[in-house]
Amino acid sequence: MRIFLAGFGVVGQSFAAQVDKRTQELVRRFGLRPRIVAVSDRGGVAADPKGLQVKRLLEVKAAKGSVAADRSFGKPGVSAAEALEESDAEVLVEVTPTDIKTGQPGLNHIMTALKNRKHVITANKGPLALALPALLELAQYNHVILRFSGTVGGGTPILDFAKKCLLNDRIVAVRGILNGTTNYILSRMTWEGVDFSTALKAAQKAGYAEADPSMDVDGYDSATKLVIIANWVMDMKVTLRDVSVTGIRNIDLREVKNAYDKGQEMKLIASIDSKLTVEPKPVARTDPLCVSGVLNAVTFKPQHGAEQTLVGPGAGGIETANAILRDLIEIKQALYPTFEV
Amino acid sequence: MRIFLAGFGVVGQSFAAQVDKRTQELVRRFGLRPRIVAVSDRGGVAADPKGLQVKRLLEVKAAKGSVAADRSFGKPGVSAAEALEESDAEVLVEVTPTDIKTGQPGLNHIMTALKNRKHVITANKGPLALALPALLELAQYNHVILRFSGTVGGGTPILDFAKKCLLNDRIVAVRGILNGTTNYILSRMTWEGVDFSTALKAAQKAGYAEADPSMDVDGYDSATKLVIIANWVMDMKVTLRDVSVTGIRNIDLREVKNAYDKGQEMKLIASIDSKLTVEPKPVARTDPLCVSGVLNAVTFKPQHGAEQTLVGPGAGGIETANAILRDLIEIKQALYPTFEV
């Protein structure tokens, strides 16, 4: 399978390293031989139709800051979109940084790939939050597959679970903790009695929160994930504008303590029923959803069966790379199904 | 899809009722038109190659105690195995009562079906606990599919989750609460400070424990489920004899209280690493595995990714029937794969 890798930051490098390390196993277990034929970053593109050496890509990136600096295969200044038009890659793996205002440059990459009949796997939430209904239609129109397991839950296969394991049922409601950073902050407020800004500083120090924490603490990261779940799992045609979003910045320590005294914990809950909402809410401590620290948890309510809760770690470079690999195997299996007894 | 339904108790009747109620939806969503061509119970068999009417089966069963009493289609005294040999059913749904000593009559039904090249879906743990490695081989040899989602977790797709959602990884360890009855008893001991026999009586009164509770409280129900997980998810070739089993009958209330004072709860934990074990153990209250009441929970530890925990209700007539339907859809899709974008 020939891969175009757009974005070569933490996730992109981790994905390339895993593909390299696990090639033999992937061939043996799944008949999948991934070959990275092009990589793009801010400096340009490196491309070789025969397949690039991952070790060399990582070295050039570390030494020169861009894969485009490779002497033999580098094309400085060439954009990913240009290179995509010409590439014979079958799959685009899109892992450029998330921008929820414009969706760029990911949105452009994804649309170019789909129009050129390339399958797309992305871990970039921006384009999906803004245009997922349109992108799914574009993929269908061009008879290619669009997958994005890494965008929700990272290491925890939340989307796959709902789609594959509850397949004879219909999800009618979802409630979840979809952001590890805010859950870490709220856990510290609950267990240590510290206020929001102290807990936020601790999260930043531990590497769980960014210097600008607004995507997380204002609820937009949770909201983008909720949009993706709504479209993919519940066939709703919604974007970020359809979500009512309240973050945790204004939570008073007294609210947190009051909840605790009633056997509850304050959590940033993302939910879908008749509408899409992200807001802080008390959750009973005996509820399986009530997980601590940077864990994510989602409860699905099916029409026929009983509620199911899935708990696991949120995003992380390796986890997200793993999710992309899962999508790649799934595309391979959808294209060339094998009968397994 | 022509179905032979062996066993017409709570699960069998619930399955038949669901198939009947949801036929139109199954045709539309999955191209699956299930037709029950034979049903067996202790009194004999009812069979009609054109398909039996579920409403009529339920009425005859309620009025006369056996489907074999049906005037037109009943065959009193005919055994399920005999009828299976002659039936043109494509799939056997085996839901006779569990016997973990002999596996019968389910073991005989399943082997007869596999040898006659019929796919098999079973919710009967007995045959699987005693002979799962052999049955999987027999299915493979005859090029048919053997599925048993309803045996572990009932309403919670534990087997599917591990197999489908973690497919690019390898599960290296499992830890779980696989029995709702014992978890209910331990939860009451923990929260209300009552001793084992009082909690057991409460469980019996609430309908969660049988009059003879030994399968549950002595750990054998958990052990059979562990055997199924080990074979299916981890490719181990093991049976019930390979599990070291300790139940909860001898748990002292002081142990439960001591654990609680340390921020833990006593749980009946079934685990697989280098060996298979069922035994009571303290679990940290912050561990996602630490669920209350009749819930089940399983934590999978993959080789590459991070730990995942799945939480949901254990067995129940409707949940198990739902799991059988899930397996039926999966068999349909494995036999006639469709390309889905």
Tell which of B167, B299, B319 to mutate to test the A interface (max A CBs under 10 Å). Answer: B167
Residue A244 above 50 pLDDT?
yes
Mean pLDDT on B25-32: 90
Q: Is the ipTM of this complex over 0.90?
A: no
H, E, C per residue of chain B: CEEEEECCCHHHHHHHHHHHHHHHHHHHHHCCCCEEEEEEECCEEEECCCCCCHHHHHHHHHHHCCHHHCCCCEEECCCHHHHHHHCCCCEEEECCCCCCCCCCCHHHHHHHHHHCCCEEEECCHHHHHHHHHHHHHHHHHCCCCEECHHHCCCCCCHHHHHHHHCCCCCEEEEEEECCHHHHHHHHHHHHHCCCHHHHHHHHHHCCCCCCCCHHHHCCHHHHHHHHHHHHHHHCCCCCHHHEEECCCCCCCHHHHHHHHHCCEEEEEEEEECCCEEEEEEEEECCCCCCCCCCEEEEEEEECCCCCEEEEEECCCHHHHHHHHHHHHHHHHHHHCCCCCC
Quick check: B32 and B329 in contact, CB under 8 A?
A: yes
Q: What percent of chain B has pLDDT over 90?
A: 83
Mean pLDDT on B73-92: 97
Crossing angle, helix B54-64 and helix B10-30, to 10 degrees? Answer: 180
Residue B306 above 90 pLDDT?
no
pLDDT attached to residue B338? 61
Chain B's closest residue to A304, CA to CA, is B322
Quick check: A182 and A176 in contact, CB under 8 A?
A: no
Crossing angle, helix A196-205 and helix A180-192, to 10 degrees? Answer: 120
Nearest to A168 among B166, B306, B322 (CB): B322
Mean pLDDT on A104-121: 98
Range name among A145-154, B63-72, B315-324, B332-341 with the lowest pLDDT average? B332-341
Rounded Cα gap, residues A157 and B203, in angstroms: 35
Range name among A119-133, A154-168, B2-16, B203-217 with the lowest pLDDT average? A154-168
Q: Cβ B288–A305 below 8 Å, yes or no?
A: no
Residue A216 above 80 pLDDT?
yes
Mean pLDDT on A293-320: 88
Range name among A199-208, A280-289, A311-320 with the lowest pLDDT average? A311-320
Residue A180 above 60 pLDDT?
yes
B322 contact residues in A (CB cutoff 8 A):
168-169, 304-305
Name the token pair of B142: 């005859």
Mean pLDDT on B64-83: 97
Residue predicted with more confidence, A60 or B154: A60
Mean pLDDT on A77-103: 96
Quick check: B144 and B122 in contact, CB under 8 A?
A: no
Q: What is the CA radius of gyration of chain A?
A: 21
Q: Cβ A310–B308 below 8 Å, yes or no?
A: yes
Residue A12 above 90 pLDDT?
yes
pLDDT attached to residue A340? 44
Residue A42 above 90 pLDDT?
yes
Nearest to A329 among B168, B306, B326 (CB): B168
Mean pLDDT on B301-318: 86
Query: Is residue A305 very low, low, confident or very high in pLDDT (cuts 50, 70, 90)?
Result: confident
Query: Is residue A339 very low, low, confident or very high in pLDDT (cuts 50, 70, 90)?
Result: very low
Q: How far is A77 from chain B (nearest CA, A)?
A: 34
Nearest to B340 among A157, A307, A334 (CB): A334
Rounded Cα gap, residues B225 and B100, in angstroms: 12
Mean pLDDT on A325-334: 91
pLDDT attached to residue A338? 61
pLDDT attached to residue B339? 46
| Residue whose token pair is 């909690």 | B199
Taking residue B341's Cβ as centre, other Cβ atoms within 10 Å add up to 13
pLDDT attached to residue B155? 75
* Inter-chain CB pairs, A–B, below 8 Å: 123
pLDDT attached to residue A74? 97
Q: Residues B225, B237, B257, B301: which is the catalytic one?
A: B225
Name the token pair of A143: 């008879």
List, for residues B204-247, the tens digit of each pLDDT value.
998 888 889 999 999 999 999 999 999 999 999 999 999 999 99
Going B60 to B62 to B67 to B68, the CA torsion angle's sign is: negative
Residue B337 above 80 pLDDT?
no
pLDDT attached to residue B341? 35
- Has B225 been annotated as catalytic? yes
Mean pLDDT on B279-307: 92
Residue A124 above 80 pLDDT?
yes
Terminal Cα-to-Cα distance of chain B (whole angstroms):
25
Q: Cβ A313–B292 below 8 Å, yes or no?
A: no
| Residue B83 burial by Cβ neighbours in a 10 Å radius (0-12, 13-18, 19+) | buried
pLDDT attached to residue B340? 44
Mean of all residue pLDDT scores within chain A: 93
Query: Is residue A304 very low, low, confident or very high in pLDDT (cuts 50, 70, 90)?
Result: confident
B140 contact residues in A (CB cutoff 8 A):
341
Q: Cβ A168–B307 below 8 Å, yes or no?
A: no
pLDDT attached to residue B34? 94
Whose CA is closest to A210, among A321, A122, A315, A65? A315
Query: Is residue A341 very low, low, confident or very high in pLDDT (cuts 50, 70, 90)?
Result: very low
Terminal Cα-to-Cα distance of chain A (whole angstroms):
25
Quick check: B119 and B91 in contact, CB under 8 A?
A: yes
A30 contact residues in B (CB cutoff 8 A):
168
Q: Cβ A326–B168 below 8 Å, yes or no?
A: yes
| β-strand partners of B8 | none
